[in-house]
Structure 1
Amino acid sequence: MNKPAIVKPCHEKTFQQDNIYCRYNSDEINAFVPEMLNGDYWQEKNAIVGSAQGRGTTWFIANENSAGVLQNWVLRHYYRGGLIGKVLNDQYMYTGLENTRAAREFDLLKTMRALGLPAPKPIAFRVSKHGLIYRADLLSSRIENANDLVAILSKHEINDQLWQDIGKVIKAFHQQGIYHHDLNAHNILLDDNNKVWLIDFDQGEKRNNQHKWPTENMARLLRSFRKESHKIAGFQWHEKNWQMLLTGYQSTIT
């Protein structure tokens, strides 16, 4: 695997109206309105082409811009997990715009794209503030013609070279100091050219110290594969596949 190419960062603009704060990628959006961060807006335009269920509904959007170019996006509302999520659901303590989950993920996506790493483009985010509480939404690019590893391995196995490629891509992120808070089999995609992508960087961050967290990141991923193999009948994953992934991860990226 070659080192990621350095590319130009996106251009961004800000929007503020009453208690709503937004930033958006002006390379992707010409005429921004905050309603773009609402699923109902796209449903009225018949632009919803699919969805996925997690803590909430993730919407897949096909938007034709003013130049007639089809843009494939993902819209996600931020929800809390765990026991606290049962009480606060989608409410977070506001300590400044740049500390919100949406702003941090938008900025991390921007950083990763500038480094040439295979991650989604940041499109826009919205933060709605009410007193000391905020709610947030994020638009990012959808990886076209791609499926996550759980969906793929539920149907068929992948070869040793692909396992090594997955390991090499994860290593590329780690070498750049990119911490993925929830690295699991659902957040690794393969497109129809067998290119590896990582998605869903909520609570991720760029770290300078690489002493311990990469090992913990990999341990989390291994637990994910083992969990899915016990949960899904016929799941095409074995411990030997993990060794191939590690072979790729431990190889020198040139």
Structure 2
Amino acid sequence: MTTDKNTATSPIIHTKHNNVFCLHNQQLIEHFEPEMLSSQYWLAKQQVVGQAHGRGITYFIETAQQNQWVLRHYYRGGLIGKLINDSYFFSSLAATRAFAEFNLLTLMHDKGLPAPKPVACRVVKNGLTYQADLLSSRIENAQDLVGVLSKQSLSAEQWQNVGQVIASFHQQGIYHHDLNAHNILLDSQDKVWLIDFDRGEQRNVDIKWQQANLARLLRSFEKEHGKIANFHWQKSHWQQLMAGYNR
């Protein structure tokens, strides 16, 4: 196994063992093992405390040191996902889904943006393709907006806070590829968080992609409103969100 740091002062460690490439934050994992990016590792330790089912299974982990983490394997979506499932074409490590999201989360954390901390990631290269996994911090005592709005409405101030947080990412040029109501969390202190930055990136600040991001989010609220009975969302709430965004 080979190990090196990204920079002389960086807590991010890059390790390679045969065809397995990993990044991990040394401040969060002192003794790193690539197997930590496998659900079997945590299941064997009986440290999986919950699961979420979507495209794949997301595992919620509580370590012996009581760290709260989230483990996610990368799966393809759409029709191609039914054929290829979890394999991606390999061009470079930096371009892999796991390394790109890990590095973007590191950048956002350095900027103080409310997003999960990157803990570790793994890329397993198989010839011209790869599979990947990401371990990140779990936002404690938080629920996504779909869950919240299925039970109660938000105040005008809370909607404005959502808009302000989205604006803070956009002002830093952070593009969220899938900004929707499931990827915005509200914690018990009313703090707003954005999660799931797969295929996200830092871009030049431009109103075109920012408006497209917001349009995607609006469609998400409209979709959930049409799908869930008693979903506490109205068009006036969007106006309150945008008032916070434009503040």
TM-score, with length taken from structure 1:
0.93
**How far apart are 1:10 and its partner, in Å?**
6.1
Gaps of 5+ in 1: 1-8
Deviations 1:21-61 (A, max 9, x none): 00100000011111100001001111001011110000000
1:220 corresponds in structure 2 to 216
Contact 2:172 2:205 in 1 (8 A): no
Query: What letter is aligned with 2:177?
Result: H
2:100 corresponds in structure 1 to 104
Residue 45 (structure 2) pairs with residue 49 (structure 1): no
Q: For the residues of structure 1 that align with 2:172 and 2:158, how far apart are their CA atoms?
A: 21
* SS of equivalent to 1:212: helix
2:172 is aligned, of 171, 176, 195, to 176
Contact 1:80 1:89 in 2 (8 A): yes
Q: For the residues of structure 1 that align with 2:205 and 2:110, how far apart are their CA atoms?
A: 20
Query: What letter is aligned with 1:204?
Result: G
Contact 2:171 2:205 in 1 (8 A): no
Contact 2:121 2:132 in 1 (8 A): yes
* SS of equivalent to 2:212: helix
Contact 1:13 1:24 in 2 (8 A): yes
1:1-254 matches, cutoff 5 A: 11-65=11-65, 70-251=66-247
Taking only aligned residues, the RMSD between alpha carbons, in angstroms, comes to: 1.0
Q: For the residues of structure 1 that align with 2:43 and 2:34, how far apart are their CA atoms?
A: 15
Contact 2:88 2:131 in 1 (8 A): yes
Q: For the residues of structure 1 that align with 2:62 and 2:72, how far apart are their CA atoms?
A: 15
Q: For the residues of structure 1 that align with 2:197 and 2:155, how far apart are their CA atoms?
A: 27
Identity over the aligned pairs, expressed in percent? 57
Structure having greater relative contact order (Cα 8 Å, sep ≥ 6): 1
Q: For the residues of structure 2 that align with 1:245 and 1:54, how far apart are their CA atoms?
A: 27
Q: For the residues of structure 2 that align with 1:130 and 1:168, how far apart are their CA atoms?
A: 43
1:4 corresponds in structure 2 to none
State the 4+ residue runs in structure 1 displaced beyond 6 angstroms: none
Query: What letter is aligned with 1:95?
Result: S
